[in-house]
Chain A
């Protein structure tokens, strides 16, 4: 394996010498107003009818034969720049694009080339532009990138009071969520009603449901890649918002005294204050309650010289829930990324990053002043990665790289303040993971292009630590093996082939197909019927095998009326090995033998996704529909009978519409409908020990009632001013006050003794919210 990657690398280097009279045009493209690098700008050579796009750092490289060319730099929402360039040697050319204020209003929501959805090899991919997201109605008026992404076909919200989202039948832990390359292990604040990402600090996000390129790995179902703003290079700007339950503030600026476009920073913070209302609660015990979250993100970038650039970015977020001094519970993510962009030459771009990521939760319970205990648990990653991008010619764009991760899993530490009881900790688990990949975006002919690649992943549980082996019953401990520092306890490895192909039928339509294999070595144990912050991350071990998914997808993409309407149909089939389910009463807290309470089996998901989208004009929006089935088969559940997964949603419909009433007024509405979750209800009852006991006949054999909800929002922009701009956003969540079921439980009836009844709990009725946003 290593030999093959070295050969590929050598091939790439030598191939660059084999092009004779060719020269390279390369450089960065930035926004002239803010100095932010622009991602996905098209650079097109008219004479040769070839082109390229800028990468995520705004860099491009184009190698063509010697000559004089008309080169066009275009990016939707910005004025196209066309220049004649005489290429007799390699040229470095940085370009600034300015917004065209007149056309801005019309097309601002498009960040891609008009027919990009038809032309690119990307399929099963959702890209969202922040200006598009900001106008949509949201709960409590808090703009939320994750909530918006669940409105796309194939992506399902886990539901109210539930953390995470499901992609094509995969669990919430099967989504790789990257914030400036750092994995985020829990993407939800406050019961999943808010995502941990502050929209003001987000530059771009992209969700890949399938056809995932080889540079990404580590999770089965999807990659959500979120890039933070770099900070305005040209002037200091401040923006923020005051909302019903939260406020935000973002400051970005060039460093004072720094030369132009040399260095800049952005700091963005958010804090909720829902608990202020609790101070007025009639129940005095609630007055002491705290319930809030905050998050802070910051980024600095510094341009050393033309060939070297450094970025430092960090995120810190925390949820806090407490009752006076006697009970405290807090959880959150911390991530940090240090990146170095380096140009070896005008064809070879490198990004090397050192990434830190941490998720943990803490409990504190105090019985009296000096008697109490604390409990903490979490996961911590240290990650070193390097990605290289090589542009040999206009037909190929090669990416290759390596990634080393050291994981530390803290399953649980119990610390007592009371000298009478002992401290107790479940032994930490450490693991080392590395990956190597190479991939090529290859324009094979005018009609056929392909992105293909191969990834190798190796995962080792390492010492210090210990592992249990179990007797045949799977529960009694047979043996405990203790591992010394750096000793390998268990190693897994495997290849992950990836390929996607685009066959362009004509300028308006194309057919795309993809296959990818994904491996996952970190697993989230979530035995209750909803996700919670105390769900436990564990590595692959001798007992938990790596999860492996193979997915094939086929899609037809067609644009109508000069790309005014985009439509697509995609079908997929995904097979998932080594999935995890739970024996009854699996305890994930302070349980050293939790692995013995797990069940392993197979899962699969298949479905069809339909999307109709209008991206131009005063009326924009989309309709998405997903028809899917997700099932599981476990020897330990109902004796191997196939049952619906809890991520199974038969129908899922999203309607999103935004209408610009006048220059300053925008009305937006969303409506969602989905089949209720598969749940287990009793099919009978019996008496035991003098009590009524439910009798269950099949796992997930019932459905919660269908979920549907409509939201509405109205955005009023203030009068355009030179310096200070503001807007009001009024949003109404659940406008027709649908009482959706959060849970259904069964109990002995209080009103009619001797009978039993079903009780439905609903969380949120109609909720209006108002937010004032400003920018100067």
Chain B
């Protein structure tokens, strides 16, 4: 229902274009913010190694190629006493050596880069398990908003401990190609999937994408924690905002890394299922 704003915006444009609205690229002076370390990485309950990618921010109007943060010392430790020292295999790409993510554990990321220390601690939620999966065909006659084609669904038990999920759909056999997913690939709150507050119930994973006959479809379901949900939702809103007009007030998404670094260190669980449509 945030669409309200979009319709309002459409109206502005209808009126504006009807007369003389015009859009042009302009020159604008922007301050140059201090360069920040950007952290992107996660630990999951899937098999390692896990990647921590370190880059650096740049001036807004510069080339969109970002300096990799090379030569950092990066470790991940958990609350069960395991410590993993990550190895930089490519510039700015740091991989764990033998860490195995476990649902319910807390993970601490420590980074030392250019004599500055950064750290972040996250807790991996409990695991989520898809128990059944199936596909069905819809000829699209029931609604304007349903494309004809094959739909793939899975079902899982939503428990009290779990409130946030992410759903992604991939097509293809060995080389999985990610396709469009609901909510632009952002995490969703369980009530958006139909959950009732505080009650365990069976929910369906439906990416609302019409697949074709013979497609091999893999659906990935993640359970994520609230910080991760907040970060990604805020990130997508941040992309849509601007000065003036109808965007929301621009803000940086809430990073969970200390010492002013940008980005997010995530820990989530995953389960996936594959359906081959006949």
* A interface residues with partner B (beta carbon < 8 Å): 161, 190-191, 193, 274, 277-278, 286, 289, 291, 321, 326-327, 329, 363, 367-368, 371, 375, 414, 527-530, 532-534, 582, 584-587, 589-590, 677, 679-689, 691-697, 699, 701-702, 704, 739, 741-746, 748-749, 754-767
Enumerate chain A residues within 8 angstroms of B18, measured Cβ to Cβ: 274, 277-278
List 17 contacting pairs A-B, 8 Å CB cutoff, sorted by A.
A363-B7, A371-B143, A529-B244, A529-B246, A530-B246, A585-B234, A585-B237, A683-B32, A684-B32, A688-B262, A694-B238, A695-B60, A697-B33, A760-B23, A762-B24, A763-B15, A763-B21
Among residues of B, the one whose C-beta sits closest to the C-beta of A739 is B22
Contact (Cβ within 8 A) A375 B55: no
Enumerate chain A residues within 8 angstroms of B243, measured Cβ to Cβ: 529, 679-681, 702, 704, 743-745
In the complex, A765 Cα to B19 Cα: how many Å?
Answer: 8
Rounded to whole Å, the gap between the CB of B215 and the closest CB of chain A is 24
B66 at the interface (CB under 8 A from A): yes
Enumerate chain A residues within 8 angstroms of B40, measured Cβ to Cβ: 688-689
B30 at the interface (CB under 8 A from A): yes
Enumerate chain A residues within 8 angstroms of B15, measured Cβ to Cβ: 190-191, 193, 274, 291, 763
Enumerate chain B residues within 8 angstroms of A759, measured Cβ to Cβ: 23-26
Enumerate chain A residues within 8 angstroms of B263, measured Cβ to Cβ: 686, 688
Among residues of A, the one whose C-beta sits closest to the C-beta of B23 is A761
In the complex, A668 Cα to B143 Cα: how many Å?
Answer: 56
Q: With A532-B5, A760-B25 given, can you name 11 additional A-B contacts, CB distance below 8 Å?
A: A191-B12, A289-B14, A527-B248, A529-B242, A586-B248, A681-B28, A682-B60, A686-B262, A745-B243, A764-B20, A767-B20
B91 at the interface (CB under 8 A from A): no
Rounded to whole Å, the gap between the CB of A215 and the closest CB of chain B is 36
Residues of B84-141 at the interface with A, using a CB-CB cut-off of 8 Å, are none
Enumerate chain B residues within 8 angstroms of A289, measured Cβ to Cβ: 14
B258 at the interface (CB under 8 A from A): no
Contacting residue for A679 out of B8, B26, B66, B244, CB 8 A: B244
In the complex, A4 Cα to B26 Cα: how many Å?
Answer: 63
B48 at the interface (CB under 8 A from A): no
B36 at the interface (CB under 8 A from A): yes
Contacting residue for B19 out of A533, A677, A764, CB 8 A: A764
In the complex, A326 Cα to B250 Cα: how many Å?
Answer: 32
Among residues of B, the one whose C-beta sits closest to the C-beta of A684 is B33
With A368-B143, A528-B5, A762-B21 already in contact, the answer to whether A756 and B33 are too (CB < 8 A) is no
In the complex, A767 Cα to B262 Cα: how many Å?
Answer: 47
Contact (Cβ within 8 A) A765 B33: no
In the complex, A291 Cα to B15 Cα: how many Å?
Answer: 9
B179 at the interface (CB under 8 A from A): no
Contacting residue for A686 out of B8, B16, B19, B55, CB 8 A: B55
Contacting residue for B245 out of A684, A693, A761, CB 8 A: A761
Contact (Cβ within 8 A) B22 A765: yes
Among residues of A, the one whose C-beta sits closest to the C-beta of B28 is A758
Rounded to whole Å, the gap between the CB of B123 and the closest CB of chain A is 16
Enumerate chain B residues within 8 angstroms of A687, measured Cβ to Cβ: 38, 55, 64, 66
Rounded to whole Å, the gap between the CB of A315 and the closest CB of chain B is 23
Residues of B1-57 at the interface with A, using a CB-CB cut-off of 8 Å, are 1-2, 4-5, 7-8, 11-12, 14-16, 18-28, 30-33, 35-36, 38, 40, 55-57
Contacting residue for B38 out of A367, A686, A764, CB 8 A: A686
Contact (Cβ within 8 A) A685 B4: no
Enumerate chain B residues within 8 angstroms of A585, measured Cβ to Cβ: 233-234, 237, 248
With A527-B248, A585-B233 already in contact, the answer to whether A743 and B60 are too (CB < 8 A) is no
Enumerate chain A residues within 8 angstroms of B248, measured Cβ to Cβ: 527-529, 582, 584-586
Contact (Cβ within 8 A) B25 A529: no
